Structure 1
Amino acid sequence: MDYLVSKQVKVLVNIEGSMREISASLQYYSNYLLLVMADRDIRIPLSDIDTLQLQANELRIRINSAQGPQTFAMVFENKDEAKDLMSYLPLQKEAQESQSFMQNLDFSAKKTPVTTVIIALNIIVFFLMYGIEKLNIIQPKNLDVFIQWGSNRIFETIDEPWRLFTCAFIHFGLLHIACNMYFLHAIGRLSEKLLGPRFYFIIYIFSAFTGSLASLLWNSDGVISAGASGAVFGVVGMVGAFLVMRRDDVPPTAFKNLKNSMVQIVVLNFLFGTLVPGIDNAAHFGGLLGGFIGAAIMSRSLDPQKRTAQFIPKLILGLVCLPLICVGIWKSGLIQKKPIVTLNKISISWYDKKVLHLKGVNRHLTSFINGESTVDEMKKGIETHNVFWKHLLKQINSIEHDPKSRNYAEIIRIQKACEFQIQFQKEVLLYTDDKKKMNLFKIDKQKEWFRLLQ
C-alpha cells in the first residue's frame, strides 16, 4: 500500500543514555505512521495517538500502546512542514472540525435571547403566583389555584384552549421549576444556536402545544397538567431532528456525543416518569414529537454558503404532519366539545374524585356559615368544584344509553348523582341571607345524597 504523505525528519532517540537526532523518513498511511530509519522501522497506529504538541518546528506525539505510554519527538525543516503533517492526523482533524462547528454555531446565533427570556418568564410567573396566592413553595396543596392560573385540564381547556400554552409556564413547586429550567438552560441554548432564535421560538411554542394536546388525549379523566417539561422535551426533539436532517453539518465526534446525550436524557426521563407517580409522560412524549417534527421542517444548514430554501421537502413534510395534528385536536375533544371517553375512565374519575369535590364544597359552605369567608369567596369556591360535576355529566351524556347494556345501571347512577350535586350547589346559594337555614338545608341534602348512593 502506498503512503499518502512522506516527510524527512530528525527523530530524537535515546542512545546509550543520551538523546541524539537521527535522520528518518516519516511516511503517513491511511491508518498508521511509519518512521523509516537506517537500523529500524517504527510503526505508530493512528488509533494509539493520544496527544499532539507542536513547539516551533518540533512535533511531539504521545501514544498509548500495549507497551505503555510513549512519546516521539520529531524535528522538521520548518514549522510549516510540521503543521502540514498535523493536518492529516485524526486528532488535529477532529479539532479543526469541532472548531469549525462551533464557529458556524456562533454565526447562526451568537447569543440565546429566546432561552433567556423563556426562563425569566417562567421564574417571574412562579414567584408571582406563589406570592399572590401564598402557596407553599416546596409542596403546594391547593390545586384550585393552578386551575385559576391557567393549568391544563380537560374540564376547562374544552372552553379555554389558551390553557394549552399557559400551562407551560406554571409549576408545582420549587423542585419542579428548578429541574425544568436547568434542562432548558443546558439544552435550549444549543437548540437556539442550531435553529436560530426565530425558528427556535416557534418550535418551542409548538412543542408546548403538542405536549399539552397529548396530555389531554391520555388524561381525559380530568388530570391537572402543568409545567415546561413538554416544551423542554421539544427542545430535545429539536436537537434530535437536527442531527438526523443535518448530519453533514456536525463533526463525527460532536455527533456521537450529542446523540448519546439526547438518548440518555430521553430514556432516563421516561423511565423516571414511569416509576414515579404524578409525572405526565404523555406531555413529555407529545412535546418530544412536536419538537422533532418542527425542527425537521425548519432546520437549516449552519454553513451560510450551503443554506438553500429546500422548500419542496419541507412542504411535503408539513403537509404530512398537519393532518396528524388536526386529528389529535379532534380526538382531544377541543373541536367536538365532547371528549371521547370510555365508561371505564368516567367511572375512575367518579370514584377517585367525587370525595375530593364533595369535601371541597362542604369546606366552602362551612367556612361561610362560620363567618370565615364572604359570599363571593364561597360562590367562587363552590363553582370551582361544580365544574367537575358538570363535565362528568357531559361525559355521561356522550355515551349511548342502552337499557339492555350491563353498564346501564352504572351510567344512570352516576348521571343522577351529577344532576343532584349540580342542583344542590345551585339551590344552596338561595340561603346566603340566612346561614341557619343554609346549614339545615345542607344537612338534609347530605342525608338525601347518601340515600341516593345506596
Structure 2
Amino acid sequence: MPELKVLRGGAVAFFATEQSPLARNRKHIWLGLVLGTLLSAFLSRDSPGGLWAVVLVGLLIGLWTEVGVRRQLKFGQALATLTDEAIEAPRLSAADKRLRWCDIDHIEVAPGHGGRAIVFVLKPGLASNRRAFLTGSRPSRPMLALSLFAPADQERLLDEARRLHRLANTGKADGLPVSNELAEERVFHERLVALAPVPWLTYGLIAANVLVWLLMLGEGSMLTTTPVPTLLDWGGNAASEVQKGQWWRMASAMFVHGGLVHLAANMFGLYAAGTLVERIYGAAPFALLYCGAGLAGSALSLHFAAQSAVSVGASGAVFGVAGALMVAVAQHRRALPQFFRTQMLGGVGFYVVYSLMQGFGTQGIDNAAHVGGLLGGALVAAVLPERFDLTRYAAAIGPRSVVAAAVAGVLIVGMVATAPVATLDQGRMIRTDKTLQVLFRLFDKTVAAMVADGEAVTAGRMSLIEADERSRTVHAPAFRDLLVQLDAADLGRNDPRAPFVEDLRQLTALFAESLAMASVVDVERGQVTPADPARMDKIQRDIEIVNQRLKDYAAKVRPAR
C-alpha cells in the first residue's frame, strides 16, 4: 500500500499505512485484550458464564477499536494532498478540509489529537480564535494528527507543507533550510539509543521484579493480592523489623509486590522512564540513582506507612527515576528538542502530581515512599552529569558519582535515624496470627458443642438435669482451658486486635463461670435453677453486651463486596 505518491501537476499525496502510530496502537490494543482475556479465563475458570461475558466484552471493544481506527486511517485513500495552492486533508480539524497556503500565517507542531499534530495557524481575522468547549480545538488553528502517518512520512509532510507555504507567500522555494522539529527529535532519539542500544540494567531490574513475584506466586500468593505474612516473609519493609536490625528490608521491599496490577503498574513506569534515564546517565550511575531513590523511599516510609503496615513495591525507585528524568530535561531544556522537552516535563510531571494526589486520597498507598523516592532521585540526578556532552561526562562522572552517593547516603541515614519507634510490632503480630486463628476456631467449636446440648434438650434427646451436669463436667472445663490459652496470647503493644481478643477472653470467662455455677435441682419436677440467680442474670446481661461488641467489630473488618 503506498505511503506517498506524486500526482499529476506536482501534487503530493500521503496515505496511511500499517506503520503509522495509530495502526500500531490498534495492534497493541488487540494484544492487551487477548492477554486480559487469558488472565480473566484463569481467574474465572470456575465460572464459565463470567468467562464468556469477558470474552464478549473484549471482542466488542476490539471490534469498536478496529472500526474506529479504519475510519480514521481510510486505507487506500489520500489523507493529505498538497498542491502549490493548498493542502486538502479529510481528517483536518476544520469545517473546510481545504486550506490555502496564502491563508496560513505559519505552521507548527504541537500536542493534539492524542499525540502530535501539525497546526496550521491562520492569518488574523480569517477564523475565530475561540476554543471549542468539547474538543478544545480552535477554528484559527486547524490541526492534522500525525499519528495517521508513518514516522518517515510525518517528516516529509511537515517539510513539504512548509516548503509550499513559503513558496506561496514569498515566491521562493529555495534559500534557508526550513526547520523540522520532527527530524530534530528523531536525530536526538537516535543519539540516545546509540548511547545504550539495549538498556540492559532497566530490563534486568524488570526481570528481577517479575521473577520475585513469580516465585511468590509459586509459593501460594494470589494473582490479585498477597497475604501480609507472605509480604513480610519475602522482605517487606516494616519499621518494627527494621528497628530490630533487619536493615536489608529497606532494599528487599523494592522487589516485592502485592499483586499483578501493582507489579504491572510499577514495571510499566520503570520501562517508560528507565530506558531513557539509563541512556541519559549511563548504567552504573543509573544503578546508583535507582538504589538511592528506592532506599530513600523506604527510609521515609519508616515515618509513616511502615509504622503500622508492611510496605512493598518498586514505586519509590520508579518515582526517583521519573524525578531524575525531569531534572535532566530541566537542566538542559534549551539544548533539547522542543517537543521532547515539553512531552517529558508535561507528561512526567502530570504522572508524578496525579499519582501523589491519588496516593494522598486513597487508603493503602504508601505515598511516603513515593515522596522519598522522588526526592532521592531528584537530588542524585542533580549531582550526576548527563551524557549529552560525552567529553564533559567522562571527566565528571567519577567525582560526581562519589558526591551523589554521599548525598544519597546522608539523606537515607538521616531519615532512618529520625524515624519514630514503631507503633506496631508487625513481626509479633504476624507470628501470633496463626495462634489466634487456632483459638478462634477452638472458641467456635466449644460454643457449638454447648449449643448442641441445648438443641438436644429442646428436641427431647437430653434432660435438663443431664445438660446441667454436662455444663459443669464438659463445657465449663473446655472454656477454662480456652481462657488459659487466650491469656497466654502475647499480642504486644498497640496491636489493633487486642480489643477484640480482650472481649473474646471476657466472653470466654463469662461462659466458664456461668457453666460452672452450682444448680438447685428439683428431681421430681425435672427443673434446674442457678444457685445464685442474681449473679446468673448479671452474667447473661454481660454476655449480651460483649457479644454485641464482637459483632460490631466483625462488621467493621468484614471486606467490602
Which bracket does the TM-score occupy, shorter chain normalised?
0.5 to 0.7
Tell me the distance in 1 between the aligned counterparts of 2:323 and 2:416. Answer: 21
Assess, with a 3 A threshold, how the Cα gap between structure 1 residues 71 and 160 changes in structure 2: closer, same or farther: closer
AA partner of residue 144 (structure 1): P
AA partner of residue 135 (structure 1): S
1:116 aligns to 2:203 (yes or no): yes
Counterpart pick for 2:416 among 324, 329, 339:
329
TM superposition shift of 1:100: 3.2
Cα displacement string for residues 279-308 of structure 1 (whole angstroms, at most 9, x for unaligned residues)? 000000111111111211223232324536
Residue in 2 aligned with 1:266?
A: 352
Counterpart pick for 2:295 among 203, 209, 218:
209
Tell me the distance in 2 between the aligned counterparts of 1:145 and 1:96. Answer: 51
1:289 aligns to 2:289 (yes or no): no
Q: Is residue 298–residue 314 contact of structure 1 (8 Å, CA) maintained in 2? A: yes
Residue in 1 aligned with 2:241?
A: 156
Q: Indicate the SS of the match to 1:301.
A: coil
TM superposition shift of 1:195: 1.4
TM superposition shift of 1:108: 2.0
Q: Indicate the SS of the match to 2:308.
A: coil
Tell me the distance in 1 between the aligned counterparts of 2:165 and 2:223. Answer: 64
Cα displacement string for residues 34-66 of structure 1 (whole angstroms, at most 9, x for unaligned residues)? xxxxxxxx796335699xxxxxxxxxx995424
TM superposition shift of 1:238: 1.3
Assess, with a 3 A threshold, how the Cα gap between structure 1 residues 274 and 197 changes in structure 2: closer, same or farther: same
AA partner of residue 197 (structure 1): A
Assess, with a 3 A threshold, how the Cα gap between structure 1 residues 71 and 329 changes in structure 2: closer, same or farther: closer
Q: Is residue 297–residue 376 contact of structure 2 (8 Å, CA) maintained in 1? A: yes
TM superposition shift of 1:316: 6.9
1:100 aligns to 2:187 (yes or no): yes
Stretches of structure 1 that go unaligned for 5 or more consecutive residues are 1-11, 14-19, 23-41, 51-60, 333-338, 371-381, 394-413, 422-439, 441-449
AA partner of residue 106 (structure 2): L
Residue in 2 aligned with 1:389?
A: 492
Assess, with a 3 A threshold, how the Cα gap between structure 1 residues 127 and 307 changes in structure 2: closer, same or farther: closer
TM score, norm. by length of structure 2: 0.48
Tell me the distance in 1 between the aligned counterparts of 2:223 and 2:84. Answer: 71
Counting matched residue pairs gives: 318
Q: 1:65-80 maps to which residues of 2 (within 5 A)?
A: 65-66=122-123, 67=126, 73=164
Q: Is residue 48–residue 65 contact of structure 1 (8 Å, CA) maintained in 2? A: no
Q: Is residue 385–residue 393 contact of structure 2 (8 Å, CA) maintained in 1? A: no
Assess, with a 3 A threshold, how the Cα gap between structure 1 residues 73 and 326 changes in structure 2: closer, same or farther: closer
Assess, with a 3 A threshold, how the Cα gap between structure 1 residues 177 and 49 changes in structure 2: closer, same or farther: closer
Assess, with a 3 A threshold, how the Cα gap between structure 1 residues 161 and 315 changes in structure 2: closer, same or farther: closer
Stretches of structure 2 that go unaligned for 5 or more consecutive residues are 1-9, 12-82, 86-101, 111-117, 127-139, 143-160, 446-485, 503-511, 513-545, 547-561
Assess, with a 3 A threshold, how the Cα gap between structure 1 residues 281 and 264 changes in structure 2: closer, same or farther: same
Tell me the distance in 2 between the aligned counterparts of 1:21 and 1:97. Answer: 26
TM score, norm. by length of structure 1: 0.58
1:190 aligns to 2:250 (yes or no): no
Q: Is residue 62–residue 71 contact of structure 1 (8 Å, CA) maintained in 2? A: no
Counterpart pick for 1:175 among 244, 258, 261:
261
Identity of aligned residues (%): 26
Tell me the distance in 1 between the aligned counterparts of 2:205 and 2:293. Answer: 14
Structure scoring higher RCO (CA < 8 A, sep ≥ 6) equals 1
Q: Is residue 246–residue 301 contact of structure 1 (8 Å, CA) maintained in 2? A: no
AA partner of residue 258 (structure 1): M
Assess, with a 3 A threshold, how the Cα gap between structure 1 residues 75 and 180 changes in structure 2: closer, same or farther: closer
* Bigger CA radius of gyration: 2
TM superposition shift of 1:251: 1.8
AA partner of residue 123 (structure 1): V
Q: Is residue 297–residue 318 contact of structure 1 (8 Å, CA) maintained in 2? A: no
Tell me the distance in 1 between the aligned counterparts of 2:210 and 2:379. Answer: 28
TM superposition shift of 1:262: 1.1
Q: Is residue 108–residue 302 contact of structure 1 (8 Å, CA) maintained in 2? A: no
Question: In angstroms, what is the RMSD of aligned CA positions?
Answer: 4.5
AA partner of residue 120 (structure 1): A
Residue in 2 aligned with 1:45?
A: 105
Tell me the distance in 2 between the aligned counterparts of 1:160 and 1:174. Answer: 27
